[in-house]
């Protein structure tokens, strides 16, 4: 059984809300870089990049953009068993120093993905700051990590699936409830 907590319109509204908040808190757009965590965070990051660049009145290419794969930095690789984890690209084609990195992911739960992402980012240098943006904050943190920009808070231990047009053909967020 599944419940839709964000339909296509509300999904787009939430992305616009996050983008506006990022722009309002980072008026010096020259100091901003956007980095999406593979894989749904990258799709969201591209949309946020587009929206933020519109608010700032600049071309998207003027805001540095990167992608981050945290697979090999996870603390639960043993949980994959015999499955071979899929490793995607990490591309940080800019100097992170003096940049406010906007780190974007789809769902924040325990904080372990973000912890791994911070480890990977620091391998590329020391940014001015790192600000976390998530589409859904589902609570139940295991680490002291909080997002600065949150689309919606939906406290749940149930599995939350973000579907993006780019990969799934539709924008929505679904909670898979136990039967």
Query: pLDDT tens across 135-150, in order?
Result: 999 999 999 999 999 9
Total tally of structural domains belonging to the chain: 1
Residue 82, in any domain of the structure: no
Mean pLDDT to the nearest integer, 82-103 = 90
pLDDT of residue 77 exceeding 60: no
What whole-number percentage of the chain has pLDDT above 90? 85
DSSP state of 83: P
pLDDT tens per residue across span 23-64: 999 989 999 999 999 989 999 999 999 999 999 999 999 999
Cα 99 from chain centre: 17
pTM of this prediction?
0.93
Please enumerate in sequence order all residues whose Cβ is within 8 A of that of 24, keeping only pairs 6 or more positions apart, or say none: none
CATH number at residue 95: 3.40.50.2020
- Please give the Cα distance from 70 to 58 (Å, whole number): 30
Q: For residue 159, what are its two tokens?
A: 């599995």
CA atoms within 13 A on the CB side of 17: 14
CA atoms within 13 A on the CB side of 85: 17
Residue 81, in any domain of the structure: no
For 49, phi then psi, to 5°, come to -55, -45
Largest CA distance in the chain: 50
């Amino acid at each position: 059984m599944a419940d839709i907590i964000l339909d296509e319109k509300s999904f787009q509204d939430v992305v616009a809300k996050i983008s506006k908040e990022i722009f309002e808190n980072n008026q010096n757009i020259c100091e901003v870089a956007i980095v999406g965590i593979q894989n749904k965070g990258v799709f969201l990051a591209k949309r946020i990049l587009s929206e933020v660049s519109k608010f700032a009145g600049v071309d998207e290419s003027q805001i540095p953009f990167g992608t981050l794969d945290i697979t090999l930095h996870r603390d639960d690789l043993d949980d994959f068993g015999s499955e071979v984890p899929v490793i995607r690209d990490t591309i940080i084609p800019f100097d992170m120093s003096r940049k406010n990195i906007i780190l974007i992911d789809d769902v924040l739960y325990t904080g372990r993905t973000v912890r791994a992402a911070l480890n990977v980012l620091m391998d590329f240098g020391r940014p001015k700051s790192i600000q976390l943006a998530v589409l859904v904050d589902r609570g139940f943190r295991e680490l002291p990590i909080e997002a600065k920009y949150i689309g919606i808070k939906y406290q749940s231990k149930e599995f939350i699936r973000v579907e993006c047009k780019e990969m799934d053909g539709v924008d929505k967020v679904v909670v898979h409830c136990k039967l």
